[in-house]
């Protein structure tokens, strides 16, 4: 029966009508997908199939600043996630890059399906001392602020989506889908979770990251019931770009292994200096002034991996807040690289243990199916050059069913059928009949 159901719906992708943060998709009309080559962001117009049909993204356009506890909690999460997730690669002398904001958006959506101890642990790791409602509202505010600040030469696009295995017995709860739509502007897709669906997920990620991250998953496992995905794409020019004479080729850079390598250096005089007793650096603004690049150089003789491992959230926040206007001569290399991580072990170390175990309580996520988080996949990309910076991140949270998921038995009376009115005491039929046409009187 299950094979018949899947084969019947394998070409259908259900999308909740929404407004994406991507500039490319915001003006495209909705359409019904009929082939894999069509965009997964098309809207299925059949009535009654969309559990979020009556919900729409609600921008938090308040002029109030972000909640102070939220900012403090997110800063702590950002630094601790960075420390926990890059330690191994730093020890190997690799370039690393994490987008804490992307991870927070993906896990923030999942958090709305959690309850009891699972929820408490997720709240404590994501944004300590901040309740779920405050967290959601401030994440919504982050999206609204980013969208409002986008302009030519400087943009930060944020996109969220929820992918649900297309089976009649796998249904997100109304409250979960409502929150994801209204506060996270999430697109909701129903998908057969087959090889073609992998292509559709990766196509969505590729589009939302401006083609900087072409894929995030390579297959669906049999017990996968949901994926929650965030994409962040940053593309900004420098406020003061590097002129031709400031681009110095064939310069020397000593890498983590002590080897001297050749690179292109960007030379400039900046006006914002940062320092403490362990490091020094500078800040360079991007066009429009909303975003900036902060470089931090550990003191001579301090290994970068040791510096990162001992970094605290307070130290990092103070380094930025204590920035001072001062003339500073700078040089930094052009660079471009990709980085991939699986974050489940890092998040466990940070205290989010129950969410990854059979003890997980995600009872507010799906109707009647017990689930836990399997993996948290994270990919990043960055290009920094004389004109500006491009960066992207994608985070995918894999949600699995506990144990084997079997198809729920179902009886859909959509063709002629027999019925009876029974005497339960005697076990005999009082009435028996058939319905061949329910519209006939």
- 75 and 22 share a domain? yes
pLDDT of residue 364: 96
pLDDT of residue 167: 87
- 207 and 281 share a domain? no
- 331 and 357 share a domain? no
Who's near 202: CB < 8 A, 6+ residues apart?
214, 215, 216, 217
Residue 71 neighbours by CB distance under 10 Å = 15
DSSP 315-375: HHHHHHHT-EEEEEEEEEE-EEEEEEEE-HHHHHHTT--GGGSTT---TTTBTT--EEEEE
pTM: 0.85
Q: Is 423 within the bounds of a domain?
A: no
- 344 and 317 share a domain? no
- 101 and 203 share a domain? yes
The range of the structural domain enclosing residue 252 comes to 244-335
Angle at 176 between CA 347 and CA 159, to 5 degrees: 65
> Do residues 360 and 109 touch, judged by C-beta distance below 8 A?
no
Residues 424, 428, 431, 433, Cα dihedral to 10°: 110
As beta bridge partners, residue 335 has 384
CATH of the domain at 267: 2.30.39.10
Strands 186-191 and 154-165, sheet pairing: parallel
Distances (CA, A) of 127 to 6, 80, 136: 40, 11, 11
Q: Is 108 within the bounds of a domain?
A: yes
- 167 and 264 share a domain? no
Q: If you compute the radius of gyration of the chain from its CA atoms, what whole number of angstroms results?
A: 26
- 117 and 80 share a domain? yes
Q: Is 193 within the bounds of a domain?
A: yes
Q: Is 421 within the bounds of a domain?
A: no
- 119 and 267 share a domain? no
pLDDT of residue 7: 39
pLDDT of residue 365: 95
pLDDT of residue 437: 84
- 342 and 330 share a domain? no
Domain termination site, one of 288, 313, 335: 335
CATH of the domain at 231: 3.30.497.10
Structurally, how many domains does the chain consist of?
A: 2
Enter the tokens of residue 265.
Answer: 């250096």
Residue among 198, 266, 237, 209 at smallest CA distance from 381: 209
As beta bridge partners, residue 112 has none
- 318 and 361 share a domain? no
**pLDDT, one tens digit for every residue, the chain (441 residues):** 433 333 333 333 333 333 333 333 333 333 333 233 333 333 322 222 344 556 888 888 888 889 999 999 999 999 999 999 999 999 999 999 999 999 999 999 999 999 999 999 999 999 999 999 999 999 999 999 999 999 999 999 999 999 999 988 899 999 999 999 999 999 999 999 999 999 999 999 999 999 999 999 999 999 999 999 999 999 999 999 999 999 999 999 999 889 999 999 999 999 999 999 999 999 999 999 999 999 999 999 999 999 999 999 999 999 999 999 999 999 999 999 999 999 999 999 999 999 999 999 999 999 889 999 999 999 999 999 999 999 999 999 999 999 876 666 777 788 887 888 777 887 887 877 777 888 887
Domain termination site, one of 307, 335, 363: 335
pLDDT of residue 407: 61
pLDDT of residue 422: 77
Q: Is 158 within the bounds of a domain?
A: yes
In three-state secondary structure terms, 158 is strand
197 vs 105: CA distance, rounded Å? 22
Domain termination site, one of 308, 335, 362: 335
Q: Is 406 within the bounds of a domain?
A: no
- 204 and 341 share a domain? yes
- 154 and 255 share a domain? no
């Amino acid at each position: 029966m299950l094979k018949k159901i899947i084969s019947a719906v394998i070409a259908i992708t259900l999308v909740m009508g929404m407004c994406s943060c991507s500039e490319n998709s915001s003006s495209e009309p909705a359409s019904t997908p009929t082939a894999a080559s069509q965009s997964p962001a098309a809207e299925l117009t059949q009535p009654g199939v969309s559990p979020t049909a009556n919900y729409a993204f609600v921008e938090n356009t308040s002029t109030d600043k972000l909640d102070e506890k939220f900012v403090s909690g997110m800063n702590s999460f950002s630094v601790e996630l960075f420390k926990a997730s890059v330690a191994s690669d730093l020890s190997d002398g690799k370039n690393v890059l994490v987008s804490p904001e992307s991870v927070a958006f993906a896990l923030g959506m999942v958090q709305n399906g959690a309850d009891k101890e699972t929820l408490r642990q997720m709240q404590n790791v994501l944004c300590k001392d901040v309740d779920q409602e405050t967290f959601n509202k401030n994440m919504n505010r982050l999206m609204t602020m980013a969208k409002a600040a986008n302009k030519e030469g400087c943009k930060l696009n944020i996109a969220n989506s929820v992918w649900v295995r297309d089976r009649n017995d796998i249904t997100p709860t109304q409250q979960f889908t409502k929150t994801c739509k209204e506060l996270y502007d999430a697109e909701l897709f129903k998908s057969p979770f087959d090889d073609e669906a992998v292509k559709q997920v990766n196509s969505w990620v590729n589009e939302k990251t401006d083609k900087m991250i072409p894929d995030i998953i390579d297959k669906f496992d049999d017990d996968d019931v949901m994926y929650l995905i965030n994409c962040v794409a940053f593309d900004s020019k420098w406020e003061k770009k590097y002129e031709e004479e400031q681009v110095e080729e064939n310069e020397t850079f000593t890498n983590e292994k002590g080897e001297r390598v050749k690179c292109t250096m960007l030379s400039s005089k900046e006006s914002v200096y940062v320092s403490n007793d362990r490091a020094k650096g500078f800040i360079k603004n991007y066009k429009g002034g909303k975003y900036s690049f902060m470089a931090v150089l550990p003191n001579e003789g301090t290994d970068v991996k040791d510096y990162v491992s001992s970094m605290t959230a307070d130290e990092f926040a103070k380094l930025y807040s204590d920035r001072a206007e001062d003339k500073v001569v700078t040089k930094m290399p052009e660079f471009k690289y990709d980085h991939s991580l699986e974050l489940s072990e890092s998040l466990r170390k940070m205290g989010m243990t129950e969410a990854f175990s059979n003890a997980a309580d995600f009872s507010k996520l799906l109707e009647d199916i017990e689930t836990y988080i399997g993996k948290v996949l994270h990919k990043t990309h960055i290009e920094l050059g004389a004109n500006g910076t491009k960066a992207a991140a994608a985070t995918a949270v894999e949600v699995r069913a506990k144990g084997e998921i079997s198809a729920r038995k179902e009886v859909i009376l959509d063709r002629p059928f027999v019925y009876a009115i029974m005497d339960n005491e005697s076990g005999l039929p009082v009435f028996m009949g058939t319905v061949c046409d329910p519209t006939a009187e």
